[in-house]
Amino acid sequence: MSKQAILDALKTSAMADVAMPELKSIGNQLSQVELESRLETNLATVAGKLEPGGIEALKAHTQSLMAQGKVVLSLVDGVPGNRELTASPHALADVDFAVIPGELAVAENGAVWVTEAALSQGEQAARIAPFICENLLLVVRRDAIVADMHQAMGRIGKLEDELGFGVFIAGPSKTADIEQALVVGAHGACSLALYLI
């Protein structure tokens, strides 16, 4: 049994016993104004955009997208779309814009925490939604911005029992694999806008 063999081998380890460090004190406390301004700056460095105007601006935007014939999947209450989740995740390949709620946003790096619970509609759920769409529109509550990853993990805390998938998303997908030239739009969304509500 390889498990036992590996565990037995580890008993002969020469690594000296080191105590777990205290992690609670690290990190910064920021005011709401600072949180929002840092979030905007850092979201821009990861090629995303903080859109002003909140939920009303988002609704107007998706209305105009649908009027242009775009396929809009909305998983945010109160924001209408023209596409529903179906049993097949593959079928979402035609989504032009996905509107998805995030649980929190991280000021230091522009990342938004999206969980499985937000990626569902009625009986249907699709972890693929924020990745397969051409463009991603995220919505986060203004009071759910944290300064850094330590605070983010503090909020997420011990994960809820039902959570099987969660993701920090910082900007649209990107690559620099060809001669270090940054190209936005690799395999995931090609653009990302964040609306604060």
Partner 1 sequence: MERKVQTHAKAAEIFCRDESRVDWHSKALWVLREKRDRAAGSLPEWEELRALGSQIKLHTLSHLGQYLETFEANCLKRGIQVHWAKDGAEHNRIALEILRRHQVKKLVKSKSMLTEECHLNPFLEGHGIEVIDTDLGERIIQLNHQPPSHIVVPAIHMKKEEVGELFHDKLGTPKGQSDPTRLTRAARAHLREQFLSADAAMTGVNMAVASEGAVIVCTNEGNADMGANLPKLQLHSMGIDKIVPDMDSAAVLLRMLARNATGQPITTYSSLYRGAKAGGEMHIIIVDNGRSEMMRDKILGEALKCIRCGGCLNTCPVYRRSGGYSYGHTIPGPIGIAVGADEDETHSSPWACTLCGSCSFVCPTKVPLDKIIFHRRRLYAERGSLPYGKGSYMPLVGRFMASETLLNTGMAAARTALAILPHSLLKPMSGAWGKYRELPTAPGSSFEGWLKKNRPELLVKSTKNSKGEN
With CB under 8 A as the contact rule, the residue among 45, 63, 64, 86 that binds partner 1 is 45
In 3D space, the residue among 123, 140, 132, 135 whose CA is nearest the CA of residue 84 turns out to be 123
Residue 13, CA atoms < 13 Å, CB-side half-sphere: 8
Residue 7 binds to partner 1 (criterion: CB under 8 A): yes
Looking at beta carbons only, is 60 or 153 nearer to partner 1?
153
Looking at beta carbons only, is 59 or 151 nearer to partner 1?
151
Give the three-state DSSP class for 111.
Answer: strand
Is the separation of the CB atoms in 95 and 62 below 8 Å? no
Looking at beta carbons only, is 60 or 93 nearer to partner 1?
93
β 124-125/120-121 pair status: antiparallel
Q: How far is the CB of 62 from partner 1 (least distance, A)?
A: 22
Q: How far is the CB of 150 from partner 1 (least distance, A)?
A: 5
Is the separation of the CB atoms in 110 and 145 below 8 Å? no
Residues in 67-106 at the binding interface with partner 1, rule: CB under 8 A:
89-90, 93, 106
Give the three-state DSSP class for 24.
Answer: coil
β 120-121/49-51 pair status: unpaired
Looking at beta carbons only, is 52 or 157 nearer to partner 1?
157
Residues in 106-135 at the binding interface with partner 1, rule: CB under 8 A:
106, 108-111, 125-128, 131-132
Residue 126: φ, ψ to 5° = -145, 105
The total of other beta-carbon atoms located within 10 Å of residue 109's CB is 18
Start-to-end CA span in the chain (Å): 54
Residues in 139-168 at the binding interface with partner 1, rule: CB under 8 A:
148-150, 152-154, 156-159, 163-168
With CB under 8 A as the contact rule, the residue among 30, 139, 170, 194 that binds partner 1 is 170
Q: How far is the CB of 159 from partner 1 (least distance, A)?
A: 5
- Count the residues of the shown chain that bind partner 1, applying the rule CB under 8 A: 75
Residues in 24-43 at the binding interface with partner 1, rule: CB under 8 A:
24, 26-27, 42
